[in-house]
Chains A and B, each alone.
Chain A
Amino acid sequence: MKTRRDFIKISALGLGATAAAGGAAKWVFGDPVGDLMAGAGDESPELKTFPTYCEVCFWKCAGWAYVNEQGGIQKITGNLDDPQCNGRLCPRGTGGVGMFSDPDRLKTPLMRVIKNGEQTYREATWDEALNFIAGKMKEIKAKTGPESMALFFHGSSGNHFSHLMKAYGTPNLAAPSFAQCRGPRDVGFEATFGESVSSPEVTDIRDTKCLVLIGSHIGENMHNGQVQEMSEAIDNGAVIITVDPRLSTAASKSKFWLPIKPSTDLALLLSWIHVLIYENIYNEDYVSKYAEGFEQLKEHVRNFTPEWAYPITTLKPHEIRATAREMAAAAPAVIIHPGRHAAWYGDDVQRTRAIAILNALLGSWGNRGGLFFKEGIKIPEFPHPEYPQPAWSYHELNNGRFPLANEAVTNSVIESSIPADGKEAKIKGWIVTGTNLIASVPLKEQLNKAMQSLELLVVVDTMPMEITGYADVVLPECTYLERYDDIRATAHREPTLALRMPAVEPQYQTKPAWWIAKELGVRLGLGDYFNYKDYTEVLDWQLKQVGSSLDEMKRIGVKKTTRNTSPYIEPGTLHSFKTASGKIQLYSHELAAAGFDAMPVYTPHPEPQEGYYRLIYGRAPMHTFSRTANNRNLVALMPENALWINPQVAALWGFKKGQYIWLKNQDGVVSKFPIKVRLTERIRWDSVYIVHGFGHHHKPLTFAYGRGVNDTELITNVMLDPVMGGTGMRGNFVTFLTKDPGKEAEA
């Protein structure tokens, strides 16, 4: 079928020519060990080092890139002065070299053209590509206003394009990290404590006596600082309580593993609240000083006994009581971990509210071993004219829904890009940077329709991710090892600054995001917003405002400063939380006023039918999202995902270890590729588990193509969170096909 925007496989273009244009692609390793002749191989050549912070995930650990004599990246190690990693990168950071050396990288700008009646890409110069985009953006601005352009972003490049888009005049800057991930958690904590738990989270795991993880699998998610601190907590004898339908790595290190029936977490949380209040083991002093709405909460949870929760959660009442008592015994040095990816069941703000309420009842925020107050260094903006005031805000795209959404909602932007009811679409063009929407957002049909309706789709990436196949223009960004980016200014236990500078020149025809944004800005007549030749001018100016300089940061990579405020509530003082009243909201007037439950209420969610299993998904420590599935250093550790299935279930189906099967969901959607069966006692009978980020179907990802299953293609039932628009993705069920469904269809 011909569509406006055919999916173009970039490989079909004979990129050989472009590869040659890059020249320096050849990857040569040094040989620091030499031949080990007679064991005398301790003469390693001196490698040049450059400060960087990692871009393989959002934790942004600072480190050093080592450049070998051939001009390649030999290795990357952590910066000892960085509290986010303490000199120890995670496997992805260590394997960041594979992002740089990936043979499949985007190498030159590409533009969609029609050749012999077929849509295809042709290589373009930067000038051509940028002129084309600027022309289109001017056209859109003239026709329907700058607000009808949207940005989808993730990571450091997002800052540069956000600046460009604000200067252009649009409020529609959407990150999948909000509606698909941490948004419900942030809104839930804001409604309770008046602020979110930030990133990196303000969890004082290092000094905690009791860490409660609810579906959060630290150790499989390699949020580096947290993994390190959990290890310290284990050394210190902290009690870990893990709630997970799967014996996660963290669960295996826990004193209590509660293998909860998926989707019932809120019932467990409410019964924990019940136990704390009705056994009178909550932190009465803290609650009376800092919280509002206790009496209403007490009345609200009166009937939510562990016995009530038992048939819902399948967790025994004595276990629920025992774990609540452990928390109380450790209080206030206890953390009910807020998690990170929280878009599960559509009532996620309420679930994270319950988590926040538990933390409040135990008095953890503001106390050592609980949640601390962050402090950071504010980096001033490089001087630029004021941004124009958009004619309307991103809230318009929510059509009266999601009143507490305080960031643009990706799914609303996507929906608003489709003309409906005879009306023109509000959104006409997208710039997508650092996020492969095909893997990061569910509801593929809607996404497809939107992409077919757009007047302009620009994708900026380092790799030929699926989303690039839909673009009108593909702009190749260089990797983080080849560019300057903004100063990483972290607000956490200690305020820190970290510098990222190029360790090597951008390879091929790739460019740093700051350059792309600036060049586009200039072409859009927004040059005043980019009043510098080189980004080093911006960085040096900013650093000098805060008492450092680019020269200093090039030498040290990370700068820590001492705090001016205490991370904990000081004895004898009264802390004011950032809510309107200064008090923690056990009962939320804000939610009530918006028409939602003022206190969390458990609602049952659909369960799988006979022969179907709940699809749960998560992380593996050596991969980030879908972006590392082609990284040769990391796929060596885990080339594909596998389907975790309980051996008893597998026996019912007659599955053998290592067998490949296809997954079919409740709506009849079948996985594009088969997945390997992993028989394991580490999972419940009613659920199966896969690691997110595999099942790439874009052939230019020469390694990742066809390996494993993409969970988001099976997530067709999305439960929207009415509070903020989060896409609850855990209400999907799969059954198994043992024969290739494609072949069956042919026969």
Chain B
Amino acid sequence: MRYAMAIDTKKCVGCSDCVVACQTENNVPIGYCRDWISETVDGTYPNVSIELRSERCNHCDNAPCVRCCPTGASHFEDGGIVLVTHHKCIGCGACIQSCPYEARYSHPDGYVDKCTFCIHRVRKGEDPACVSVCPTNCMYFGDLDDPNSEIVNVLKNRKFKTLAPEAGTSPQIFYLV
């Protein structure tokens, strides 16, 4: 089992619904976020193009945050989901420094927090909150090891990229372009 996400940049309108839904689903304190929107603008007027992306922890196969964690708080769960065990976390911030995606933040309660792929929902067979709320339906979540999953299907049929591939982290969020 290998959980992953594919996000269609051709459909994303950057509305940030994924961000609010994550916040109310996971009690992310206001002023912090586990996911966010990035906009890249290319070209000059009038030959301009933009790409909108919903970004979050990439749940990397080769996760520098897990490797550098001194207490084992950052760890892999089943399906390759990278999690932080809050009570084991000493808030040293090494993982925040090591993450090429700036996906982690220091929670005011003293631990480091980030996207969990909504593991509590996924274990009940639901999609992560961000995926289930997206008005443009531009996000696909599923198991890469399941050849019949929707995510495998879209990745087979569409061109995609990952962010910062040069970091060698083997990220598991794929952007359809």
| A39 adjacent to B133 (CB under 8 Å) | no
A37 to chain B: which residues have CB within 8 Å? 85-87
B38 within 8 Å of A by Cβ? no
Stretch at the interface among A148-156, A221-229, A373-381: A221-229
Docked Cα-Cα span, A78 to B50, in Å, equals 29
17 further interface pairs, Cβ-Cβ under 8 Å (given A94-B17, A219-B15)? A32-B27, A32-B120, A77-B132, A94-B24, A224-B135, A228-B136, A230-B136, A231-B138, A250-B13, A253-B10, A259-B45, A622-B15, A622-B16, A622-B20, A636-B19, A637-B20, A684-B45
Of A85-93, A128-136, A502-510, the stretch lying at the interface with chain B is: A85-93
Set of chain B residues within 8 Å of A222, measured between Cβ atoms: 15, 135
When chains A and B are docked, how far (Å) is the Cα of A684 from the Cα of B44? Answer: 10
Mask: chain B, 129-162; 1 = CB below 8 Å from A; 0 = not: 0001111111000000000000000000000000
Among A43, A621, A634, max chain B CB count under 10 A is at A621
Q: A76 contacts which chain B residues (CB < 8 A)? A: 24
Q: Does B1 contact A (CB under 8 A)?
A: no
Question: Is A49 an interface residue, CB under 8 A from the partner?
Answer: no
Residue B14 at the chain A interface, CB threshold 8 Å = yes
Q: Which chain A positions have C-beta within 8 A of B137?
A: 88, 228, 231-232
Kindly provide the distance from the CB of A100 to the nearest chain B CB, expressed in whole angstroms.
11
A236-264 vs B: 1/0 string, CB under 8 Å?
00000000000101101100010100000
> Would you call A417 an interface residue if the criterion is a C-beta within 8 Å of the partner chain's C-beta atoms?
no
Residue in contact with A235 in the complex, picked from B11, B15, B48, B124, CB distance below 8 Å:
B11
Nearest-neighbour CB distance to chain A for B111, whole angstroms, equals 9
One digit per residue, 1 when the CB lies within 8 angstroms of any chain B CB and 0 when it does not, for chain A 623-640 equals 000000000111011100
Q: B116 to chain A: closest CB distance in Å? A: 7
Contact between B135 and A681, CB atoms less than 8 A apart: no
Closest to A87 in B: B132
Residues from chain B with a CB closer than 8 A to the CB of A234 are 10-11
Of residues B17, B120, B137, which shows the largest number of chain A Cβ atoms within 10 Å of its Cβ? B17
Q: Does B94 contact A (CB under 8 A)?
A: no
In the assembled complex, B43 has its CB within 8 A of some CB on chain A? yes
A565 contacts partner chain B, Cβ-Cβ < 8 Å: no
Q: Which residues of A contact B87 (CB under 8 A)?
A: 35, 37
> Is A219 in contact with B27, judged by CB distance below 8 angstroms?
no
Q: Which of B14, B20, B33, B77 contacts A95 (CB 8 A)?
A: B20
* Contact assessment for A683 and B45 in the assembled complex, using a CB-CB cutoff below 8 Å: yes
Is the C-beta of B26 less than 8 angstroms from some C-beta in chain A? yes
User: Are B133 and A247 within 8 A (Cβ)?
Assistant: no
Determine the chain A residues whose CB is within 8 A of the CB of B172 once the complex forms: none
- Please name all residues of chain A whose beta carbon is closer than 8 Å to the beta carbon of B49 when the two chains form the complex: 252
Name the A residues within 8 Å of B83 (CB-CB).
Answer: 36, 39
B86 neighbours in A (Cβ, 8 Å): 35-37
How many Å lie between the Cα of A222 and that of B135 in the bound state?
Answer: 9
Contact (Cβ within 8 A) B48 A90: no
CA distance A160 to B135 in the complex (A): 31
Please list 28 pairs of residues, one from A and one from B, whose beta carbons are closer than 8 Å in the complex, sorted by A's number: A32-B27, A34-B120, A35-B87, A39-B75, A41-B119, A85-B135, A87-B132, A88-B132, A88-B134, A90-B15, A91-B16, A95-B24, A219-B15, A219-B136, A227-B13, A227-B136, A228-B136, A234-B11, A235-B11, A252-B50, A621-B13, A621-B15, A622-B20, A638-B16, A646-B45, A680-B41, A681-B41, A681-B43
Q: How far is the CB of B45 from chain A (nearest CB, A)?
A: 5
User: Cβ of A29 < 8 Å from any Cβ of B?
Assistant: yes
Q: Are A90 and B17 in contact (CB under 8 A)?
A: yes
A250 partner residues in chain B, CB cutoff 8 A:
13
Cβ distance A622 to chain B, nearest Cβ, rounded Å: 5
Q: CA separation between A39 and B66, bound complex, in Å?
A: 14
Cβ of B63 within 8 Å of any chain A Cβ, yes or no, is no
Q: How far is the CA of A88 from the CA of B85 in the complex (A)?
A: 31
Interface residue count on the A side (C-beta < 8 Å): 63
Cross-chain contact of A621 among B16, B25, B81 (Cβ < 8 A): B16
Shortest Cβ gap from B47 to chain A (Å) = 9
B interface size (C-beta, 8 A)? 48
Kindly identify, within residues 66 to 116 of chain B, every residue whose CB is under 8 Å from any CB belonging to chain A. Answer: 75, 77-78, 81, 83-87, 116
Instruction: Indicate if the CB atoms of B30 and A633 lie closer than 8 Å.
Output: yes
* A307: interface (CB < 8 Å): no
Structural contact, A30 and B41, CB atoms closer than 8 A: no
Instruction: Tell which of B20, B41, B48, B87 has the most Cβ of chain A within 10 Å.
Output: B20
- Residues of chain A within 8 A (CB-CB) of B23 are 633, 636
Q: Are A247 and B120 in contact (CB under 8 A)?
A: no
**Interface of A with B (CB < 8 Å)?**
29-39, 41-44, 74-78, 85, 87-91, 94-95, 97, 219-220, 222, 224, 227-228, 230-232, 234-235, 247, 249-250, 252-253, 257, 259, 621-622, 632-634, 636-638, 646, 648, 680-685
Known contacts A41-B119, A227-B136, A228-B135; is-contact A32 B26 (Cβ 8 Å): yes
B43 to chain A, nearest CB (A): 6
Q: How far is the CB of B26 from chain A (nearest CB, A)?
A: 6
Cα A685 to Cα B133 in complex, Å, equals: 37
Q: Is there an interface contact between A634 and B135, defined as CB atoms closer than 8 Å?
A: no
Quick check: is B52 within 8 A (CB to CB) of the other chain?
yes
B165 within 8 A of A: no
Task: Give every chain B residue within 8 A of A74 (Cβ-Cβ).
Answer: 24
Bound Cα distance A97, B15 (Å): 17
**Per a CB cutoff under 8 Å, which of B15, B17, B27 touches A30?**
B27
Across-interface contacts of A36 in B (CB, < 8 A): 83-86, 116, 119
Contact check, B133 vs A78: say whether CB atoms are below 8 A apart. Answer: yes
Within 8 A of A (CB), among B8-64: 10-11, 13-17, 19-21, 23-27, 30-31, 33, 41, 43-46, 48-50, 52
For residue B75, which residues in chain A have a CB less than 8 angstroms away from its CB? 39
B86 to chain A: closest residue by CB: A35
For B73, the closest partner residue in chain A by CB is: A36
**Complex interface: chain A residues within 8 A of B46 (CB):** 257, 259, 684
Q: Assess the B135–A33 pair: CB atoms within 8 A.
A: no
Q: Given known contacts A32-B25, A94-B133, is B14 in contact with A621 (CB within 8 Å)?
A: yes
Do B135 and A90 touch (CB < 8 A)?
Answer: yes
Distance to closest chain B CB from A713 (angstroms)? 27
Residues of A close to B15: CB separation below 8 A: 90-91, 219, 222, 227, 621-622
Q: Are A685 and B45 in contact (CB under 8 A)?
A: yes
Assess the B48–A633 pair: CB atoms within 8 A.
Answer: no
Question: Which residue of chain A has its CB nearest to the CB of B51?
Answer: A252
Q: Find out whether the CB atom of A39 lies under 8 angstroms from the CB atom of B119.
A: yes
Q: Can you name the residue of chain B whose Cβ is closest to the Cβ of A259? A: B46
A33-B116, A228-B137, A682-B45 are contacts. A75–B19 as well, Cβ < 8 Å? no
Q: Are A633 and B20 interface neighbours, CB within 8 A? A: yes
Evaluate contact between B48 and A681: CB separation under 8 angstroms.
yes
Q: Is the CB of A227 within 8 A of B45?
A: no
Minimum CB–CB distance for A10 against chain B, Å:
23
> Contact between A94 and B45 (Cβ–Cβ < 8 Å)?
no
Give chain A nearest CB distance to B57 CB in angstroms.
13
Q: Do residues A249 and B52 form an inter-chain contact, with CB atoms below 8 A?
A: yes
Distance (Å) between the CB of B44 and the closest chain A CB?
5
Rounded to whole angstroms, the CA-CA distance of A39 and B20 in the bound complex is 23
B84 → chain A closest CB, angstroms: 7
CB–CB B30/A636 < 8 A: yes
Q: Are A39's CB and B85's CB within 8 A?
A: yes
With both chains docked as a complex, state the minimum distance between the C-beta of B136 and any C-beta of chain A, in angstroms: 4
Please give, as numbers and ranges, the residues of chain A lying within 8 Å of B31 by CB-CB distance: 636
B177 CB, nearest partner CB in chain A, Å:
13
Q: Which residues of A contact B26 (CB under 8 A)?
A: 32-33
Known: A220-B13, A681-B44, A682-B41. A33 touches B120 (CB 8 A): yes
